[in-house]
């Protein structure tokens, strides 16, 4: 075999290998859930989205919002008296009794770990007096404090209501916000908890199969399940691999195994294909004659091969993936644009020339004064 033929074979092999890499990068993730979002929990970068902004029924994932609202607006040590209305809540319960007195922290644990609808209603009534008033305040909180745009809740537990909806992206943003609170993060990641109630003494065990360990996956840090007939299977999951914290939200899978497989695929995709990068404070980005910079060191998420960076005229830095989808937005600060000078600016030499001229004038004036004084002295003599 000639050297030329050997070289051709090698080049062909390299070319085909590169085709395989490109195909692997562009292959669509097989997600069966109707809507799904994968976020970087630290930066908020959107790493994957399927119907991310479509309105969906969240079922018990609603309790993520209820819990963080309660933690930030209530006193965890307050004792809540359970109402008859809370006891009558449908669906999954922690079997509270009317008149039972329960610390707020325990109610939050009951709603997140065991998905207790009665605990969620008791929490809402403690915070705002009624479920309706609670829903109004919660919606305002989610919009103004957390920044969601397409969410409207009518109750604290996620029982079906046509006007009770959110999106996968909104709920991912809510979850990302919530897990930064240490109290929420601890409860969200609790696998089991001793429960001593008036009518129910047991050990609460999380319903989330990956957090529980029934479906093994390394690095799971928290999770919440949900189901009503109209929403089907819903799932929220957080994980950490030592480098990246990821948040996965899945809506409307027909089978429980499907929603967990979707979550595994998305976590694998995120951990395998993305990394963090630090934009240094005062690093300069240019758009035309305008210059912008980060005021502080800024953490961004990008594909392992790097992200496409685009800067608009308002100083908004857009980080895009290989498909041209915006993953992250970062507002930069403008530097003052130097005006174009019509006249030739003074150089150092020009400035020195003018300074020497001034010194010369002063010297001549001084000589004149000395000569004048000398003449006066001579006349007197």
Catalytic residues: 60, 63, 115
With beta carbons less than 8 A apart as the criterion, state whether 200 and 221 touch. no
Burial 170-191 (b: 16+ CB within 10 A, else e): bbbbbbbbbbeeebbeebbbbe
Q: How far apart are CA 30 and CA 256, in angstroms?
A: 16
Structure token digits, residue 343 = 């006249």
What number of other Cβ atoms are within 10 A of residue 65's Cβ? 27
Tell me the C-alpha to C-alpha distance, in Å, between residue 379 and each of 133, 275, 367, 371. Answer: 105, 93, 19, 13
Strand, coil or helix: what is 228? strand
Residue 151: burial class (beta carbons within 10 Å; 0-12, 13-18, 19+): buried
Residue 212: burial class (beta carbons within 10 Å; 0-12, 13-18, 19+): middle
Using the structure block, give the residue that is written with the tokens 């119907």. 51
Q: What angle do CA 98, 85, 183 make, to 5 degrees?
A: 80
Q: Left if phi > 0, otherwise alpha if psi is -120 to 50, otherwise beta: which for 282? A: left
Residues in the chain: 381
Structure token digits, residue 244 = 């990246």
With beta carbons less than 8 A apart as the criterion, state whether 294 and 330 touch. yes
Pairing state between β 232-240 and 220-228:
antiparallel
Q: How far apart are CA 156 and CA 65, in angstroms?
A: 8
């Amino acid at each position: 075999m000639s050297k030329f033929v050997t070289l051709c074979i090698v080049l062909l092999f390299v070319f085909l290998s590169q085709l395989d890499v490109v195909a692997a990068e562009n292959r669509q993730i097989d997600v069966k859930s109707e809507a799904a979002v994968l976020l970087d929990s630290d930066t908020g970068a959107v790493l994957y989205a399927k119907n991310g902004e479509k309105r969906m029924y969240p079922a018990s994932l609603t309790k993520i919002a209820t819990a963080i609202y309660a933690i930030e607006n209530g006193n965890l040590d307050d004792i809540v008296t359970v109402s008859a209305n809370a006891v009558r809540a449908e669906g999954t319960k922690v079997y509270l009794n009317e008149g039972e007195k329960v610390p707020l922290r325990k109610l939050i644990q009951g709603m997140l770990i065991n998905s207790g609808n009665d605990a969620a209603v008791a929490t809402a009534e403690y915070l705002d007096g009624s479920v309706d008033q609670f829903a109004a305040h919660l919606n305002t909180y989610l919009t103004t404090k957390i920044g969601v745009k397409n969410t409207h809740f009518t109750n604290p537990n996620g029982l079906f209501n046509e006007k009770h909806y959110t999106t996968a992206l909104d709920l991912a943003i809510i979850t990302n916000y919530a897990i930064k609170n240490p109290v929420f993060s601890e409860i969200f990641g609790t696998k089991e908890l001793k429960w001593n109630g008036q009518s129910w003494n047991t050990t609460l065990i999380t319903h989330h199969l990956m957090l529980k360990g029934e479906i093994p996956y390394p690095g799971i840090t928290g999770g919440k399940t949900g189901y009503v007939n109209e929403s089907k299977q819903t799932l929220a999951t957080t994980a950490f691999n030592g480098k990246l914290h990821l948040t996965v939200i899945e809506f409307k899978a027909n089978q429980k195994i499907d929603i967990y497989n979707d979550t595994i695929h998305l976590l694998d995709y995120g951990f395998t294909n993305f990394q963090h990068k630090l934009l240094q404070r005062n690093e300069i980005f240019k758009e035309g004659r305008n210059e912008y910079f980060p005021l502080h060191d800024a953490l961004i998420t990008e594909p392992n091969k790097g992200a496409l960076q685009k800067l608009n005229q308002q100083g908004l830095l857009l980080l895009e993936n290989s498909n041209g989808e915006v993953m992250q937005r970062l507002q930069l600060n403008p530097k003052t644009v130097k005006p174009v000078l019509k006249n030739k600016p003074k150089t150092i030499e020009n400035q020195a020339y003018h300074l020497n001229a001034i010194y010369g004038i002063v010297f001549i004036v001084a000589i004149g004064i000395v000569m004048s004084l000398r003449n006066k002295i001579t006349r007197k003599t």
